[in-house]
Structure 1
Amino acid sequence: MSKLASRITDAEAEVMRILWEAGRELPISDIRKTLEKTSKWETSTIKTLLRRLCEKGVVLARKKEVFYYRPLVSEAEYNEYATQSLIDRLYSGSAKELVASLLGSKKLNDSDIDELRALFKVGDGDERNN
């Protein structure tokens, strides 16, 4: 993932989520309508966020009758980067320490733990087959 994408702010990520969920390019009017449900941002604020995202190289603006915006970075790519960044910052790069922290703070219920166990078992099987 691009270093520029690493600097997506929380507010910019809200705009990105709208673009990701749409699955197609959107005019600012559609982005604004969706954001009205969750924020009190003015149109000028939304335009500024979109301009910054374009400058960072994570959104493309295309002029038709109005500007249409589409993400150049997938949600999965961004989430992977953000997760790794969190692990690096808070747990010195140790995913095991993150999981231990979640277990210790009771953030995972029994169902979550069972799902993770199943994922680990699938991962073990994949490793043995290689």
Structure 2
Amino acid sequence: MNTLMEPIKISDSEWEVMRVVWTKGKTDAKTINDLLSSSKGWKLATTKTLLGRLVKKDVLQTEQAGKKFVYSAKVTEEQTVRSATENIFSHICAKKVGSTIADMLEKAELTQEDIDSIEAILAEKVPVAEIACNCIPGQCICKEESNGGKAI
């Protein structure tokens, strides 16, 4: 698997295709389409278009097997999820990351194993005294509040 350092940015539909590829390991367009067409209403051409985009984005590789192409992932599901999470956090104030994680946990269904894993991570976490706002003035209220409520 590729160890990309660049952010992995894929659309919701591309996620659907990638989930099949991650599950199958190696697969062709028809197999992917057969699995997704009933729930997504896609035609084979749609699936092939999405596969082409994923190859262009360098997250899928392709090899020819007879008359068809076989696709396999160049990035892991874990890498892609981590990149998506980092992307979400890069779009919010650093001071809101903790409350965003708490909100995500509140909404998520978790097994006892999940909870134990999260608690173990939290037990090891060393809190910082303060988190600095990383926003441009006007993007959040932190800088507005620290300026006596006046816009900077």
Distance 2:45 2:109 in 1: 42
Closer/same/farther in 2, CA of residues 35 and 117 from structure 1, 3 Å limit = same
Is residue 97 of structure 2 the alignment partner of residue 95 of structure 1? yes
Query: Do the aligned partners of 2:9 and 2:84 also contact (CA within 8 Å) in 1?
Result: no
Distance 1:20 1:100 in 2: 29
Distance 2:58 2:109 in 1: 39
Distance 1:110 1:59 in 2: 31
Normalising by the residue count of structure 2, what TM-score does the alignment of the two structures yield?
A: 0.66
The structure with the larger Rg is 2
Aligned pairs for 1:68-107 within 5 A: 68-92=70-94, 95-102=97-104, 106-107=106-107
User: RMSD of the TM alignment (CA)?
Assistant: 2.7
Distance 1:21 1:27 in 2: 13
Distance 2:110 2:72 in 1: 39
Is residue 8 of structure 2 the alignment partner of residue 6 of structure 1? yes
| Cα displacement (A) at 1:21 | 1.1
Aligned pairs for 1:1-130 within 5 A: 1-3=4-6, 6-22=8-24, 24-65=25-66, 66-92=68-94, 95-102=97-104, 106-107=106-107, 114-115=115-116, 116-121=118-123, 123-124=124-125
Closer/same/farther in 2, CA of residues 45 and 98 from structure 1, 3 Å limit = same
Aligned residue type for 2:89? I
| Cα displacement (A) at 1:88 | 1.5
Structure 1's unaligned 5+ residue stretches are 125-130
Normalising by the residue count of structure 1, what TM-score does the alignment of the two structures yield?
A: 0.75
Aligned residue type for 2:19? R
Aligned residue type for 1:6? I
Aligned residue type for 1:20? W
- For residue 127 of structure 1, what is the aligned residue in structure 2? none
Aligned-pair identity in percent equals 25
| Cα displacement (A) at 1:39 | 1.0
Q: How many residues align?
A: 119
Aligned residue type for 1:19? V
| Cα displacement (A) at 1:94 | 5.4
Structure 2's unaligned 5+ residue stretches are 126-152
Query: Do the aligned partners of 1:91 and 1:97 also contact (CA within 8 Å) in 2?
Result: no
